[in-house]
Amino acid sequence: MEIDWPALRTAARTAMGRAYVPYSNFPVGAAALVDDGRVITGCNVENASYGVGLCAECSLTSALFGEGALFGEGASQRPRLLAVSVVDRNGDPLMPCGRCRQLLYEHGGPGMLLETVSGIRPMAEVLPDAFGPDDLISRS
């Protein structure tokens, strides 16, 4: 599947404009192409309790299972992230934090593509030797 990276980055920039960042003044936006054809977005949302704010990738993942998702009854599988772009306040690619890399890996797998500060990379390179759902399967 052809990924329109400029369009994803534009969608991430638009999402970044909706960020709620009264404390850090550091808006972040994220956009993803989903295997069901949707383009979803998310932005960071802060609160006075600093540590429990939501990264843009968290709200992006919530959108994965939100409106329009083909998951559950009648769907053959859960939706998966194919490609993700995360941008900073200047609209430039931004590397997700460790927690968000794990979250993206969980919902995109090792082959999910991420636009990073050093180019497009699969999650297997961004988070090598990642812990994932398969690690929870009994190996007896």
* Residue 137: alpha-carbon gap to chain centroid: 25
Round to whole Å and give the CA distance between 135 and 8.
31
Residues with Cβ within 8 Å of 30's Cβ and at least 6 positions away in sequence, in order, are: 12, 15, 41, 42, 43, 56, 57, 59, 60, 84, 85, 86, 87
Question: What does each of the 140 residues of the chain score in pLDDT, given as a tens digit?
Answer: 789 999 999 999 999 999 999 999 999 999 999 998 999 999 999 999 988 899 999 999 999 988 767 655 555 578 999 999 999 999 999 999 999 999 999 999 999 999 999 999 999 999 999 988 888 886 65
Q: Are 94 and 16 in contact (CB under 8 A)?
A: no
Is position 125 annotated as part of the catalytic site? no
Q: Residue 26: its pLDDT value, please?
A: 96
Q: Which of 57, 73, 106, 125 is catalytic?
A: 57
Q: Residue 49: its pLDDT value, please?
A: 92
Q: Are 51 and 34 in contact (CB under 8 A)?
A: no
Considering the entire predicted model, what is its pTM?
A: 0.91
Q: Residue 121: its pLDDT value, please?
A: 98
Q: Residue 132: its pLDDT value, please?
A: 84
Residue labelled with tokens 């009648």: 74
Q: Residue 57: its pLDDT value, please?
A: 97
Residue 20, CA distances (Å) to 13, 42, 56, 111 in order: 14, 11, 10, 31
Strands 119-122 and 81-87: unpaired
